[in-house]
Amino acid sequence: MGVFTAPENLSGHEQVVFCQDKSSGLRAIIAVYSTALGPALGGTRFYPYASEEEALHDVLDLSKGMAYKNAVAGLDLGGGKAVIWGDPVADKSEELLRAYGRFVESLGGRYYTACDVGTYVEDMDVISKETRYVTGRSEDHGGAGDSSVLTAYGVFQGMRAAADHKWGTPTLAGRTVGVAGIGKVGKHLITHLIDDGAKVVATDVSERAHDWLKTTHPNVDFVDTTEALIGSDIDVYAPCALGGALNDDSVPVLRASIVCGAANNQLAHPGVEKDLASRGILYAPDYVVNAGGVIQVADEIEGFNFNRAQRRASKIFDVTGEILRLADREGVPPAVAADRLAERRMANVGRLRTIHLP
């Protein structure tokens, strides 16, 4: 797959940069999908891809998703993403991260990076030694800290909005929520759900995550596999691990009435959103409800204030409700309605860039 001949759903990027530093072992790709609303913002994923093609596919897909996420979140930021091809446990080093930081700096502010799968706050602190264009740093370095805090909070707000739309009440009290993935975001989400009075069923491949659950929330039921989770009697399914959770195998057996989770790119391919709608399953678009993290790190650019960022993340409740109502009015799945809202804002606000300033 070539960059200029990528499938239609992955094309349209402004810039794709391949970065290599042989001494440190760095192999990275930075993809800028759009700067119509401002500098592109998106995290850096450190992952042992099976091939360069797989890494390229992921970064192109994720960067486009970030553009739509930032637009719907009301941020004056475009969309971008980066991937570092390698094993974060075996390959990550100060030298590699700083080499990557210099490549980010070389883009002159077109792209701001942040945490993602395989990268953490402490990594952003190292990267910031080489570039000004990094968010998600630790509080000791003037940053916003762990962005999973407001990611989970935003997903919870989106879930409340979906519950209000589906059942007429903005709470998960008395409902059973299945959480797939007890990682950085899933842990916080489970706490919000329990505090709201929901019953939680969870799964994760990590034994460490299972141990955390038994210690922290012993009343939460644990199932061994995601397949067992989606086939159980749950009201809401919350995918909080890697993408592609909603596919031709999972949707037909899914018993939940709502899907609302933190994972990116939950729809495995175009058309899955129609399959969900045909089964009467309400899908809260992933990039809408999981925008709390990007809202948190974007606030860092202004000089981070947690209370201000949380107030902004609270609006995910309103935006999710608006999209679900728009979907009903226009007779389209919520994923299509969300895309239309994002594209409208990128076009309308981006158009103002044609008014030249002195």
What residue numbers does the annotated binding site cover?
A: 181-186
DSSP 123: H
Give the relative orientation of helices 148-167 and 292-302 as an angle to the nearest 10 degrees. 130
Residue 81 is a catalytic residue: yes
DSSP structure string for 62-105: HHHHHHHHHHHTT-S-EEEEEEEES-TTTT--HHHHHHHHHHHH
Q: Looking at 64, 69, 81, 166, which residue is catalytic?
A: 81
Rounding to the nearest 10 degrees, give the CA dihedral for residues 130, 183, 159, 253. Answer: 130
Distance CA 224, CA 218 (A): 16
Identify whether the C-beta of residue 100 lies closer than 8 Å to the C-beta of residue 84: yes
User: HSE (CB half, 13 Å, CA atoms) of 82?
Assistant: 30
Identify whether the C-beta of residue 64 lies closer than 8 Å to the C-beta of residue 12: yes
Rounding to the nearest 10 degrees, give the CA dihedral for residues 327, 328, 330, 334. Answer: 20
Q: Which amino acids are annotated as binding site for NAD(+), given as ranges? A: 181-186
For 288, the 3-state DSSP assignment is helix
Any idea which residues carry the catalytic annotation? Answer: 81
